Amino acid sequence: MPRAPLPFAFLDGDFIAAADARVSAFDRGFLFGDGVYEVIPVYGGRAFHADHHLARLAHSLEGIELDSPWDDDWWQSRINELISRNGSGDQSLYLQVTRGAEHGRDHRFPADVEPTVFMFSTATPARDAAVDRNGLKAITAEDFRWARCDLKTISLLANVLLRQQAHAAGADEVILHRGGHLTEASVSNAYIVSGGRVVTPPLSAELLPGITRIVTLELCASLGIPVAERALTVDELDAADEVWITSSTREIGPIVSIDGKPVGAGKPGPLYAKLRAAFDDLIASWRSGSAPTV
Ligand code: PDD
Residue 103: band (very low, low, confident or very high) from pLDDT cuts 50, 70, 90? confident
Q: What residues contact residue 37 under an 8 Å CB cut-off, 6+ apart?
A: 60, 94, 95, 96, 97, 152, 153, 154
Residue 113 alpha carbon to ligand 1 centre in Å: 29
**Start-end of H helices in 64-121:** 72-85
Q: Is residue 293 situated within a structural domain?
A: no
The pTM of the full predicted model, rounded to 2 decimals, is 0.97
* 84 pLDDT higher than 90: yes
Encode 12-31: b = buried (16+ Cβ within 10 Å), e = exposed. eeebbebeebebeeebbbbb
How much is the CA Rg of the chain, to the nearest whole Å? 19
For the chain, percent of residues with pLDDT exceeding 90: 93
- Whether ligand 1 lies within 6 angstroms of the CB of 187 is answered as yes
Domain span including residue 232: 130-288
pLDDT at 104: 87
Residues 114-167 pLDDT 10s: 999 999 999 998 889 999 999 999 999 999 999 999 999 999 999 999 999 999
Whether 261 is a known active-site residue: answer: no
- Roughly what angle, to the nearest 10 degrees, separates helices 211-223 and 50-63? 140
Q: Could you tell me the sign of the dihedral formed by the alpha carbons of 232, 233, 235, 237, in that order?
A: positive
* 1 pLDDT higher than 80: no
Count of structural domains within the chain? 2
Task: Tell me which residue has its CA closest to atom 1 in ligand 1.
Answer: 187
Write the single-letter amino acid at 110.
Answer: P
* Residue that terminates a domain, selected from 106, 123, 140: 123
* 105 pLDDT higher than 70: yes
Q: Is residue 155 situated within a structural domain?
A: yes
* 2 pLDDT higher than 80: no
Residues 134, 119, single domain; the answer is no
* Residue that terminates a domain, selected from 123, 154, 184: 123
- Whether ligand 1 lies within 6 angstroms of the CB of 184 is answered as yes
Helix, strand, coil % over all residues of the chain, rounded to 5: 30, 30, 40
* 173 pLDDT higher than 50: yes
189 close to 207: Cβ distance less than 8 angstroms = yes
Residues 27-72 pLDDT 10s: 999 999 999 999 999 999 999 999 999 999 999 999 999 998 899 9
pLDDT at 151: 98
Residue 190 alpha carbon to ligand 1 centre in Å: 11
- Whether ligand 1 lies within 6 angstroms of the CB of 60 is answered as no
For the chain, percent of residues with pLDDT exceeding 70: 98
List Cα–Cα distances, 21 to 27, 53, 146, 201, 208, in angstroms: 14, 24, 30, 39, 29
Atom number of ligand 1 nearest to Cα 186: 4
Catalytic residue among 152, 261, 267, 274: 152
- Whether ligand 1 lies within 6 angstroms of the CB of 190 is answered as no
| Rounded average pLDDT over 84-98 | 97
Residues 247, 208, single domain; the answer is yes
Q: Is residue 213 situated within a structural domain?
A: yes
Residue 112 alpha carbon to ligand 1 centre in Å: 31
pLDDT at 293: 45
Q: What is the rounded distance in angstroms from the CA atom of residue 272 to the CA atom of residue 248?
A: 17
Q: Where are the beta strands (DSSP E) in 34-187?
A: 35-43, 46-47, 91-98, 116-123, 136-142, 173-178, 181-185
